[in-house]
Amino acid sequence: MIEYENLRLLNEPFFEEYKRTFSDTLERGWFILGNNVSAFEKDFASYCSSGYCAGLASGLDALILALRCFEFPEGSEVIVPSNTYIATILAVYHNGLVPVLVEPDINTYNIDPLRIEESITSKTRAILVVHLYGKSCDMDPITAIARKYGLKVIEDCAQSHGAKYKGKKTGTFGDFGAFSFYPTKNLGALGDAGAITTDNETLYEKIKALRNYGSRVKYHNEYIGTNSRLDEVQAGFLSIKLNRLDEINAHKRRLAEMYHNGLKSDFIKPVVEPDYFDVYHIYNIRHPERDRLREYLLQNGVKTEIHYPVPPHQQKALEEKFRKSYPISEEIHRTTLSLPVSYCHKEDEIERVIEVLNDF
Ligand SMILES: *Cc1c(COP(=O)(O)O)cnc(C)c1O
Residue 286: DSSP 8-state = E
pLDDT tens for residues 187-222? Answer: 999 999 999 999 999 999 999 999 999 999 989 999
pLDDT above 90: residue 58: yes
Cβ within 8 Å of residue 350, ≥6 positions away? 255, 258, 259, 340, 341
Q: Strand 77-81 and strand 124-130: pairing?
A: parallel
Decide if 185 is catalytic.
Answer: yes
Mean pLDDT of 16-35: 98
pLDDT tens for residues 277-316? Answer: 999 999 999 999 999 999 999 999 999 999 999 999 999 9
Using CA positions, which residue lies closest to atom 5 of ligand 1? 59
pLDDT tens for residues 226-265? Answer: 999 999 999 999 999 999 999 999 999 999 999 999 999 9
CA of residue 27 to ligand 1 center, whole Å: 32
pLDDT above 90: residue 323: no
Q: Which of 89, 180, 181, 190 to mutate to test the pocket of ligand 1 (most atoms within 8 A of CB)?
A: 180
Mean pLDDT of 54-67: 98
How sure is the predictor about 149, in pLDDT bands with cuts at 50, 70 and 90? very high
What residue spans define the domains of the chain? 7-103+111-239, 245-359
Q: Which of 93, 130, 156 to mutate to test the pocket of ligand 1 (most atoms within 8 A of CB)?
A: 156
CA distance 92 to 89: 5
Cβ atoms within 10 A of the Cβ of 28, count? Answer: 12
| Residue 16, φ and ψ in degrees, nearest 5 | -65, -45
Give pLDDT, residue 49.
98
| Residue 137, φ and ψ in degrees, nearest 5 | -70, 165
Q: Catalytic residue among 135, 152, 169, 185, which?
A: 185
Indicate whether this model's pTM tops 0.85. yes
CA of residue 129 to ligand 1 center, whole Å: 13
Give pLDDT, residue 319.
86
Give pLDDT, residue 284.
98
Average of per-residue pLDDT values in the chain:
98
Separation in Å, CA 76 to CA 21, 61, 115, 203, 224: 44, 19, 19, 20, 20
Query: What CATH number has the domain spanning 7-103+111-239?
Result: 3.40.640.10
CA distance 57 to 50: 20
Please check whether the domain covering 245-359 is classified as CATH 3.90.1150.10: yes
Give pLDDT, residue 327.
98
* Fold equal for 7-103+111-239 and 245-359: no
